[in-house]
């Protein structure tokens, strides 16, 4: 028999936070504030999406560059996205609105 746990308990045990689409951007920016903390300078919070419209916001460990533009490796295990996995390489760039998104390698320096 499988023990049922609450959504809140599952989030805590798996280091996941769910948000509705109405509050997704607000939640993203609240979590992104953690980049400013000591010990987090080698991480950037990136907003991923796939062709089917699924989205996840996850941490990337910076290997080169800064929290604005660079290259790193995914530091989370995706729940919804199947085209990326833990430790996959990620090129990223922060847009004018402050959202950091993955970019294709050929567009990383543009």
Global pTM reads 0.81
Q: Where are the domains of the chain?
A: 22-107
Q: Residue 3: CB partners within 8 Å, gap ≥ 6?
A: none
Digit-coded pLDDT (tens) for 33-55: 999 999 999 999 999 998 898 89
Digit-coded pLDDT (tens) for 86-95: 999 999 999 9
Q: How far apart are CA 102 and CA 107, in angstroms?
A: 10
Digit-coded pLDDT (tens) for 56-101: 999 999 999 999 999 999 999 888 899 999 999 999 999 999 999 9
């Amino acid at each position: 028999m499988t023990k049922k746990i609450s959504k809140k308990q599952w989030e805590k045990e798996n280091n996941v936070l769910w948000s509705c689409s109405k509050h997704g951007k607000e939640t993203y920016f609240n979590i992104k504030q953690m980049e400013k903390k000591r010990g987090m300078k080698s991480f950037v919070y990136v907003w991923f999406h796939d062709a089917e419209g699924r989205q996840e916001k996850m941490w990337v460990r910076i290997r080169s560059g800064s929290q604005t533009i660079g290259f790193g490796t995914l530091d989370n295990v995706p729940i919804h996205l199947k085209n990326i996995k833990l430790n996959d390489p990620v090129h990223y760039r922060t847009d004018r609105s402050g959202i950091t998104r993955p970019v294709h390698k050929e567009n990383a320096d543009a």
